[in-house]
Amino acid sequence: MSAQPSTTTSVPRHIAIIMDGNGRWAKERGLPRTEGHRIGAQSVEEIVEACGELGVEFLTLYAFSSENWKRPKREVDTLMKLLEHFLKSKTPKMMKQNVRLQAIGRLHDLPQSCQDRLHKSIEQTSQNTGLTLILALSYGGREEIIDGIKSLVESVEKGHLDSGMINGDVFSKHLYTRYYPDPDLMIRTSGEMRLSNFLLWQLSYAEFYITEVLWPDFRKPQLIEAIRVYAERERRFGGV
């Protein structure tokens, strides 16, 4: 399969992270949840830099799920403002660090100013050749699969694809992630043992690393520890 994850190197080619625990981090300190999101953005900055240094090729960050729209409007508004501010203020750093920005999800659901900013940063960094940073925004794994099926059906109806040819590789090419290999390592912070609708198709053979550390406290040493644990795992892909 073209999206086959890497098997031999100790540094994962693609890391996917469920950045969870901002609210709990703030609560522990008697601060508003939004303060957790603000400090969480500093973790993003540090982890992006560390992944670039370590030679990770792809980093997918779950920043806002399809389900997160259910949160109070005030929190959603703050998250969108933080995203816009992050993109605006960090794009020069991404240029310096040779980071190429991408995004997956139902991006048209984001406020217009966020979409504009996002597309500007994507465009500006499009020629960079270092780490590819993929932000999952208004992203849901089930929604992605549904969108993929719609796209497949359209291809069949237009005569571009024979339905008998549909297999895993073909389907992968109709997902938002069609340009990226599947993640090798999935990290979830703050201890929750669930996927929360993240990359349902792509994580089928990823190694999972779940830590109690809350996202605002997850920094370079914690990332290195996750990679160390990953490097000790034996990946079999169904073989012996």
By CB under 6 A, name the binding residues for ligand IPE: 18-24, 62-65, 67-68, 79, 190, 192, 194, 196, 215
Nearer to ligand IPE, 78 or 155 (CB): 78
Structure tokens belonging to residue 20: 């969870």
**101: phi then psi, degrees, rounded to nearest 5:** -90, 140
Measured from each CB, the residue nearest to Mg ion is 20
Smallest distance, ligand IPE to C-beta of residue 196, A: 4
**Binds Mg ion by CB under 5 A, chosen from 20, 182, 184, 207:** 20
Residues with a catalytic annotation lie at 20, 68
Nearer to ligand IPE, 63 or 101 (CB): 63
Smallest distance, Mg ion to C-beta of residue 33, A: 10
- 64 contact choice in ligand IPE, Mg ion, none (CB below 5 to 8 Å, kind-dependent): ligand IPE
Smallest distance, ligand IPE to C-beta of residue 108, A: 18
Nearer to Mg ion, 13 or 38 (CB): 38
Structure tokens belonging to residue 197: 């609708």
CA atoms of 155 and 181, how far apart (whole Å): 23
- Footprint on this chain of Mg ion (rule: CB under 5 A): 20
